[in-house]
Amino acid sequence: MLLIFIIICLLIIIFKHNNKKTNHILRENINYSNNEALKTKKMERGVYRILLKYTKIEIKKFIIALVMMLVAVGISLITPILLGKAVDMLSNAVIDVKKIVLIIVVYVSVLAISCVIQYFQAILLAKAGDRIIYQMREDVFTKLESLSIDQLNKTPVGKLVTRVTTDTNALNDMYTSTIVNLIRNILTIIGVIISMLIVNVKLTLWILLTTPIVIFLSFVFRKLARVIYRKVRKGITMVNTSLSENISGVKLTQIFNQEEKQCQSFEKVNNELKDNYSKQILLFGIFRPSIYAIYVLTVTLLFYIASKEIINTNFALTSGLIVIFYSYIEKLFTPIQNLAEQFNVLQSALAAGERIYEVLDTKPEIVDSKDAIEVEELRGEIEFKHVWFAYVENDWILKDVSFKVNAKENVAFVGATGSGKTTILSLIVRNYDIQKGQILIDGLDIKTYKISSLRKLIGQMLQDVFLFAGTIESNINLRDETITHEEIVKSCQFVNADKVIEKLPEKYNDVVRERGKNFSSGERQLISFARVVSHKPNIMILDEATANIDTETEALIQDSLHKIMNIGTMLIVAHRLSTIQHCNQIIVLKKGRIIESGTHIELLEKRGYYYNLYRLQYEKDI
């Protein structure tokens, strides 16, 4: 008892400082409000609800596995009695060989049946677990795809990757083995106790004297394990985030010779994860041996009682009975020891489940209204009416902005960095929603249209062109099978991208490496032009798409740009004023307000802000 008391004290001392940080961890991971206890319960209920939801997907397989498990547990409870009877027979003066052989045959058959059941149960659960995790990954990924740009920007990419991969993997073991084994072990414990009571009540009561200690230790372990596993999951996320960020920015790191500092930064988060893993191992390393110590204590108690003559007299104790109880004690403490490992996996899975629940429970900020309509075509008329917008509350980026763009017109937005040009383009495709005012397309509020329908008819050509790993053709049609190869070729010819593609060994099937690193900026831009044209938009957005292009493809891009301008309504943001001189209207922004508008000639004649910008750029080019 003194040993157990020392172990409990050691556990509490080692992990005491975790309690001081627990509230901070929970607040960071689950956005706790003032009532943290209430939020914790809500989170736990949400996690259990999510896990139950996915369990229902393969509920038939789990029920079959549960039935098989009950049979296996029942069979396992018979073996100690068979051993006991065999020992009693061997203790008799006359040994009945036939009965002993029969018992051995039954014993071996029981073990064989148990092995077969466990094999098929494992296969069944593996299939069920794979299906559940597959569906969970799909749902998490779909949820991430539905979130707004603002919501995604608030979370590092490494954390999002962890949610889809590592956190879902952590739940795989729970579905394939932990839950069923946990139930099996609990049923085994209950079954062993009932079996012992049936065999001999008084001896069972003596044996169960150590049970309260086991229950208390398990309670302490569960409490401490939940805290440490949250920290482990957070540590894994931080390592993945740091790794993702450093790999993406390795070029910049090397340019500024910051390798050592970045290594130190990664070492810090890696050490934190290592320390948490060490605490996890230590916690598990203390719990399991302590259970084994209680097991030894229980066996000692059994033999101590058996050695007493009074037990032999009153309990009619035989050698077979001692063997039965010894076997049952082993069967009682083996699942208890296994529970430690299963608690290990379960706590890790629940910690991962909390993080998955966070994603699945997140409400997208940009959603369709209930009466949103599907539209097949837009004329391309755009109007802003007294629009106010802020990324952060009351820090207005756009202030009372009003303008109108007629269908098929080319309109350019000009102004200093931070004046709100790109923000206007982002609002038109509903990457964000405005706080005040109204944005109309073809006379209807953009919230009237379904988001997918609206974005399908608006083509965007951005400065930073993103290409997926795959082929040139898959990057142009974006795996939309309704766009034929012939349409892709025509689109590429229209924007001059064919002059680049036709020179490649595999042409349209040429491999595109990650982010299109095997293509120049100009080549990537031409591919993006072809992508937009092949999807036949009614409105086109050109956000600094002509910046940072190489001189070799500049002429091709300029020619492509003139062709694209004739397709539909085009909104352009460009610092090169020479590219927007022929636009129908140029809107000049300053600090979120429109200060000038007109054609290139009209704005030069005003000799205002645009005139000064043009003169500075012209003098610079000279």
pLDDT at 28: 46
Model pLDDT for residues 505-538, shown as the tens digit of each residue: 888 888 888 777 778 878 888 888 888 888 888 8
Q: Which long-range CB contacts under 8 A does 20-28 form with residues at least 24 apart?
A: 21/231, 22/227, 22/230, 25/227, 25/230, 25/231, 25/234, 26/230, 28/234
What are the backbone dihedrals phi and psi of residue 264, each rounded to the nearest 5 degrees, phi first?
-65, -40
Residue by residue, DSSP assigns 112-126 as HHHHHHHHHHHHHHH
Give residue 207's pLDDT band: very low, low, confident or very high (50, 70, 90).
confident
What is the longest distance spanned by two Cα atoms in the chain? 124
What percentage of the chain reaches a pLDDT higher than 70? 87
- Give the contacts of 61 (CB within 8 A, at least 6 positions apart): 124, 125, 127, 128
Backbone angles phi, psi at 416, to 5 degrees: -70, 165
The pLDDT score that the predictor gives to residue 128 is 87
Q: Return d(Cα 481, Cα 268) in angstroms, integer.
A: 47
DSSP structural state of residue 178: I
Which DSSP string do the residues of 259-302 spell out, in sequence order? HHHHHHHHHHHHHHHHHHHHHHHHHHHHHHHHHHHHHHHHHHHH
Residues in the chain: 622
Structure tokens at 437: 């005012």
Question: Would the pLDDT of 229 be above 80?
Answer: no
The secondary structure of 460-500, three-state, reads EEECCCCCCCEEHHHHHHCCCCCCCHHHHHHHHHHCCCHHH
Residue in the structure block whose two tokens are 């025509």: 490
Please state the rounded mean pLDDT for residues 317-325: 76
Reduce the DSSP state of residue 328 to 3 states and report it: helix
pLDDT tens figures, 40-91: 677 778 888 888 888 888 888 888 988 888 888 888 888 888 878 777 777 6
Identify the three-state secondary structure at position 431: coil
Confidence of residue 21 (pLDDT cuts 50, 70, 90): very low
pLDDT at 15 over 50: no
Residue whose tokens read 């301008």: 565
Q: 180, 71, 73: which is closest to 125 by C-alpha?
A: 180
- Residue 19 has a pLDDT of 47
Q: What is the mean pLDDT of the chain?
A: 80
Q: pLDDT tens digits for 375-412?
A: 888 898 999 999 999 988 888 999 999 999 999 898 99
Question: Using CA atoms, how far apart are residues 576 and 554, in angstroms rounded to an integer?
Answer: 13
CA distance 441 to 385: 11
Between 338 and 404, where is the model more confident? 404
> 415: which 2 tokens?
């102004």
Our CA dihedral for 523, 525, 529, 535, rounded to 10 degrees, sits at: 100
**pLDDT the model gives residue 528:** 86
pLDDT of the residue at 24: 46
What are the structure tokens assigned to 525, written together? 């831009």
Model pLDDT for residues 160-179, shown as the tens digit of each residue: 787 887 788 878 877 877 77
- Higher pLDDT residue, 596 or 548? 596
The pLDDT of residue 388 is: 94
Regarding beta strands 585-590 and 410-415, do their DSSP bridges make them parallel or antiparallel, or are they unpaired?
Answer: parallel
For residue 121, give the amino acid letter.
Answer: Q
d(CA 572, CA 558): 13
Please, which pLDDT band fits residue 598 given cuts at 50, 70 and 90?
A: very high
d(CA 383, CA 366): 20
Mean pLDDT of 461-473: 83
Burial bucket for residue 437 (CB in 10 Å: 0-12, 13-18, 19+): middle
Inter-CA distances, 388 with 23, 315, 393, 429, Å? 38, 88, 11, 16
pLDDT score for 386: 94
Q: Residue 541: phi, psi to the nearest 5?
A: -120, 125
What per-residue confidence (pLDDT) applies to 253? 79
- What integer pLDDT is reported at residue 75 of this predicted model? 85
- Band of residue 341 on the pLDDT scale cut at 50, 70, 90: low
pLDDT above 90 coverage of the chain, percent? 11
Q: 237 with 358: CB under 8 angstroms?
A: no
Q: How confident is the model at residue 258 (pLDDT cuts 50, 70, 90)?
A: confident
Report the pLDDT value the prediction gives residue 40, as an integer from 0 to 100. Answer: 66
Alpha-carbon span 332 to 270, nearest angstrom: 39
Residues 220, 15 contacting (CB under 8 angstroms): no
Q: Annotate 569-592 with b (16+ C-beta within 10 A) or e (fewer).
A: bbbbbbbebebbeebebbbbbeeb
CA of residue 258 relative to chain centroid, distance:
30
Q: Poorest-confidence range of 16-20, 275-279, 284-288, 426-430? A: 16-20
Q: What is the pLDDT of residue 353?
A: 84
Tokens 């398990």, residue? 218
Residues contacting 327, CB < 8 A, separation 6+: 79, 80, 83, 84
Highest mean pLDDT among 83-92, 148-157, 194-203, 393-402: 393-402
Highest mean pLDDT among 10-14, 143-147, 241-245 belongs to 143-147
Three-state DSSP state, 165: coil
Helix, strand or coil, per DSSP, at residue 588 = strand
How would residue 312 be classed by pLDDT, with cut points 50, 70 and 90?
Answer: low
What pLDDT sits at residue 39?
Answer: 63
N-terminal to C-terminal alpha carbon distance within the chain = 91
* Residue that has been written with the tokens 């399908």 in this structure: 456
Query: Is 14 a residue whose pLDDT tops 70?
Result: no
Q: What is the pLDDT of residue 313?
A: 55
Mean pLDDT over 269-291 rounds to 84
For residues 203 and 321, give the distance between their C-alpha atoms in angstroms, rounded to a whole number. 10
Confidence grade of residue 595 (pLDDT, cut at 50, 70, 90): very high
Helix (H, G, I), strand (E, B) or coil at 95: coil
pLDDT of residue 404: 93
- Give yes or no for residue 550 having a pLDDT over 70: no
Per-residue confidence (pLDDT) for residue 603, from 0 to 100: 92
**Which stretch, 29-43, 140-154, 425-439, 576-590, has highest mean pLDDT?**
425-439
Q: Is 487 exposed, middle or buried (0-12, 13-18, 19+ CB in 10 A)?
A: middle
Could you give the domains of the chain?
A: 14-361 (1.20.1560.10), 382-621 (3.40.50.300)
- Whether the CA torsion 416, 422, 423, 428 is positive or negative: it is positive
